[in-house]
A and B are shown apart, each in its own frame.
Chain A
Amino acid sequence: MSYTIEIYRRHQKAVRHLGQFALFVMFYPQLVAGPIERPQNLLSQLQTEQHFNSQRVASGLQLMTWGLFKKVVIADRLAILVNTVYTNPSQYTGFELLIATFFFTFQIYCDFSGYSDIALGAAQVMGFTLMQNFRRPYLATSISDFWSRWHISLSTWFRDYLYIPLGGNRVGLWRWQFNLLFVFLVSGLWHGASWTFVLWGALHGLYLISEIWLGKLASLINQAINPKKLHNLINPTISRNVIRLLKWCGVFIFVMYAWVFFRAENLQDSIYIISHISIANANFNRISVLIGGNIELFFAFALIVGLLAVEIYQQHSLAFGSLRQQIRQLPLWSRFALYYLSVMMILILGKFFNAEADFIYFQF
């Protein structure tokens, strides 16, 4: 669709070469589940002669390995509990529903971003650069920040082809809010013709609208209270970090809450889960049995913590170049050991025999 729209808008010249057009449409790394590529980016690369570059191939393979790790080690491991609980939620306690939802929050991220990394890596091996689809979304400190990091190719697609043509934010306040809600309702429907997806989209639309009002409220408070007086009471660095942490927690909880609607089999189940989910009576005994033992449960939590640690490190080490660039600068034997360990970890810790191990986004 983006090709047709871009040609119509005269942002892109029509391709006259059938082979190049076919290659663009059927470019296999991103054919099944994105990233949703724009013609401007991919077509120009298809028209350029590619030469072998060992650094680029190695970098692509690194990305594919990382994607595979996220998919088969993290996502498919978490899926065991998530699938069991979400198939029949009424059989489980509020705490078990909470842990399953928490796991799904990371399952869907690792599943989908894992696929995107494999697609990006495969394209990179062949000499093509696809657009980044995820940028550490669970480190977001606002919902709008979350959407600038999650499924970037889809959110920018909706931004460029729906939100901006509707007027975007350059309209009156009420129209702006309508635009946001409408775009997210359509985004929900894009995932499937089900009320659960519509509600998921609507929730995110409402989150963004609430953010507009919270922003207005915050500026009113700022005007009413002199910030300098506050800084005399609390160290500004500490207060900034505490506010950041609170924002991060808030965004994470709201996003996790919305995932319930995305994952539930039907509306009744999602309402049941929302009304019963609870932190009370925390008991890991049955969860441990459901996921396959204490060791599996330990791995599940350890992998989530590890994933967040890597992402936080990446976020803060951007000034020193990406993690992959840093790996490239290691001595040959260290790199060799690192690659060996990565592949062995995938083979040893991967879940290869789950009945429902397809990529979640293959259905959309």
Chain B
Amino acid sequence: MQRLILSIFNFNMRVFFTKLLSLGLVIAMSTLLIGIITRPEESRSLGVTIAKHRVLQQMASPKVVLIGGSNLAFGVDSARLQQELNTNVFNLGLNVYFGLKFHLDEIRPYVRSGDLIVISPEYHLFYIDALKLIETDYIMPSVIHATFPRSAVYFPIRDQLSALLIALNRLPSRIGDRIRQIPSGPDLTFAYNYLGDFIDHLNIPASDRSRINNADSKAPANINWRELSFDQNSIQYLNQFDEFARARGARVVMVYPSWPNHLYQLDPTFYQDHHAQLRQRLNIPILGTPDCYVYPTEHMFDSPYHVDAIWRQERSKRLIEDLQPFTH
């Protein structure tokens, strides 16, 4: 092999490629180093999951654990659920970008006999490349990777490389912020209550348009689900998780996320078809139908999955009704 390489590459080529390779190596190493030492500021807000895991680890069973994205973080009053269901409740919901597999894997160490795991996966998690329709998707691998380095396995290598590039790209603005003594990103740990609900949005008046964005902003109104392919892996992950939970003596149910009325009305039959498909293929009981969790658009903000204080209560009430048969 060595002789073959020597015969192909003459001395000049070998010297040149050695220099080129050395340069490439130094560049790769510094890129990696900068990527590792610079953490995207959003990682601080997502870092709350570490605190959530700590609480969950100490919570006694039987308990109800809600898992999913921000539709749960923003849309559930866990204290009310705890009181009316008369059992421990914890809200692990945080961000859709973690992905379904991550959501299902992160709860595994805490599943014990008698627990009820309530999964509320966002619609985007059932369709291939649907998350890419949301503007900020390219940031998330870097944020999540910075928050949980172990999450690397949940993202393809392309996203990991993007994460490195993003870390590099943010270097000038972060240096600028440091010079101007601007703190790097808010620590949102205090925006959550002790049961894992996001509560910082509850006092935002609906009239405050500067903070309450149009629900379209992160999911275009013209989203055409029918153009997207259903992710067969999602069914497999959910059924496998159900088997795992049963083996541990726990039960799993699924509920639909909050969804704005104007997006639902674009194609109501899609949601019915989606529900029929899940019902047919999932071993997990589905509580309610998509239309049970459709809310007025004006009460949603930032993302089509986020409800305001009023509809958070409505959703909690509905959840209590749906979950009661499983907790008594």
- Which A residues fall within an 8 A CB radius of B? 52, 54, 57-58, 61, 293-296, 299, 336, 339-340, 343-344, 347-353
Contacts and interface: CB of A to CB of B under 8 A. Distances in A.
Interface in B176-204: 176
Nearest to B166: A353
B16 A57 contact: yes
A348 B12 contact: no
Given A296-B173, A352-B169, A353-B162, 20 more contacts: A52-B10, A54-B13, A54-B15, A57-B16, A293-B173, A294-B176, A336-B19, A336-B23, A340-B26, A343-B23, A344-B30, A347-B31, A347-B165, A347-B168, A348-B34, A348-B171, A352-B162, A352-B165, A353-B138, A353-B166
B27 A343 contact: yes
Give the interface centre of B10, B15, B23, B34 by most chain A CB atoms within 10 Å. B23
Contact of B12 (A52, A61, A344): A52
17 contacts: A52-B12, A52-B13, A52-B16, A54-B12, A54-B16, A58-B16, A61-B20, A294-B176, A336-B19, A343-B23, A344-B27, A348-B34, A348-B171, A349-B169, A349-B172, A350-B169, A352-B165
A294 B180 CA distance: 12
Interface in B130-181: 138, 162, 165-166, 168-169, 171-173, 176
Interface string B205-235: 0000000000000000000000000000000
Contacts of A352: 162, 165, 169
Nearest to A353: B138
B86 to A, nearest CB: 49
Nearest to A53: B12
Nearest to B164: A347
B33 to A, nearest CB: 11
A314 B204 CA distance: 57
A121 to B, nearest CB: 14
A299 B172 contact: yes
A127 to B, nearest CB: 13
Nearest to B174: A295
Chain B, interface size category, equals 20 to 34
A54 B34 CA distance: 31
A338 B165 CA distance: 20
Contacts of B20: 61
A294 B138 CA distance: 23
Contacts of A61: 20
A351 B172 CA distance: 12
Interface string B9-41: 010110110011001001100110010000000
Contacts of B176: 294-295
A351 B27 CA distance: 18
Contacts of B19: 336
What 5 A-B pairs come out closest when comparing CB atoms? A54-B16, A295-B176, A347-B168, A353-B138, A348-B168
Contacts of B173: 293, 295-296
A57 B138 CA distance: 34
Contacts of A351: 169
Nearest to A332: B19
Give the interface centre of A61, A350, A352 by most chain B CB atoms within 10 Å. A352
Nearest to B176: A295
A343 B30 CA distance: 11
Contacts of A353: 138, 162, 165-166
Contacts of A57: 16
A79 to B, nearest CB: 15
B79 to A, nearest CB: 39
Contacts of A54: 12-13, 15-16
A293 B173 CA distance: 9
A295 B176 CA distance: 7
A216 to B, nearest CB: 52
A340 B162 contact: no
